[in-house]
Copies of this chain bind each other. A is one copy, B any other.
């Protein structure tokens, strides 16, 4: 069988390479592990699966890990006349994260907040030596300028995930951060995060399912209240935005379309400290009033344990729930933790030019990186705003390096990199439903162009979604599309 042959070929490669990797994650498949064990004894250095190092007469290769704000902005601006671009990510699209909360209840459509990588940088699908690989990077061999990846084959029953190598001239680590759970039991199992489009889809599906099931005979009053209790943990911008959107949905759509159960649905927002703690005091008070007015119950509490049908707070209170959305910030991912390089607050340590100074030709941007103490700078907050600006800066830096002949591996030592990266905070924004938003410009040093752009973008997409919904007569947020929608039998 062809896939069998492939495994043999690939596993040979891995055994030849593995000794020089700084970290190797455990293999997903026991079958593959078995082959590895088997081939270890017979491996020869006949063939490396993957992209080999570029030659001096070829374009240098930039490898980008991740497809978030940082990586995508970088890829968008990279000059593909100078570089070939290879993106390695388990997600083939970028998510416009600040608008994700609006998709859960149908204010926006899912596709309005996602953009395929092939459209952000068409070279990856059209240029002969540029690629997008649907895979995770497992390890980096900094000495040999090479990464080891493993494909994401979930959903393809005939393929086991396989490993391959990609040599780089420049490596940009923009692999993002992971949702924090503070080690609280049950969060990963029972709560839904709000970081990817499939999270938003899951939230929409659960909400609709609970609305419908609570209307079926045989559900007690108590159970109905539990099913329709939506709990949001975390009072940051995402949690507040989602609570606002949800209360809008209840006031408008549930009252109109789920009239039988409209008095049972409630939203509770649990936060250990203040909501929107990074915002100005007056804005916080305003947000609190607005949320309370639209029916969101604000609870100050510390979650101790999450069970399938209830949360237990540290003071012993039980909070039964039907939908639990977890949004308590982000922290370093296991991949970043596994890298044996200097860190800054757990993130990949970088210098003023966004380089990883301990190794050659490696850069890191976005939520996964932070300024080293030696730079005398603060670690920047994990915001789309920071990531986007870093991506833009680094693309221009790498284009400059490439133009001056430093594109290939180990060739940029003597090139002047120009001005270091400087971050100017343009302010913060959070919507709180009912077409209201908070804009905090305290630290802003530039004009409001950034916010005007975001607002116009938001407005245009919203109008288009509404227009289509109107003509279509199909608000898709009312559709429950899942494998359970089978025919009667």
Give the interface of A toward B (CB within 8 A): 1-3, 5-6, 9-10, 49-51, 65-66, 89-93, 109-112, 114-116, 118-119, 125-126, 128, 131-137, 151-159, 162-166, 175-178, 190, 195-198, 201, 205-206, 208-210, 212-213, 215-220, 222-223, 226-227, 256-260, 308-309, 322, 333-335, 460-461, 464-465, 467-468, 471-476, 478-489
From B10, B137, B215, B468, give the contact of A488 (CB < 8 A): B137
Interface contact A155-B334, CB-CB below 8 Å = no
Whole-angstrom distance between the alpha carbons of A118 and B258 in the complex?
A: 9
- The complex is assembled from copies of this chain, and their number is 2
Whole-angstrom distance between the alpha carbons of A259 and B127 in the complex?
A: 8
Closest chain B residue, CB of each to CB of A205: B155
> Chain B residues near A208 (CB, 8 Å)?
92
Closest chain B residue, CB of each to CB of A223: B2
Whole-angstrom distance between the alpha carbons of A135 and B218 in the complex?
A: 12
Interface contact B488-A176, CB-CB below 8 Å = yes
Known: A222-B2, A223-B2, A476-B110. A487 touches B164 (CB 8 A): no
Known: A90-B487, A119-B478. 18 other contacts (CB 8 A): A49-B217, A51-B217, A65-B488, A91-B485, A92-B485, A93-B479, A111-B472, A115-B474, A131-B260, A133-B217, A135-B216, A152-B484, A155-B482, A159-B213, A159-B227, A164-B217, A196-B481, A468-B468
Q: How far is the CB of A244 from chain B (nearest CB, A)?
A: 24
Known: A114-B479, A131-B260, A474-B116. A213 touches B485 (CB 8 A): no
Whole-angstrom distance between the alpha carbons of A479 and B455 in the complex?
A: 24
> Chain B residues near A116 (CB, 8 Å)?
474-475, 478-479
- 5 example contacts (A-B, Cβ-Cβ < 8 A) are as follows A49-B218, A116-B478, A125-B260, A153-B213, A164-B218
Interface contact A479-B111, CB-CB below 8 Å = yes
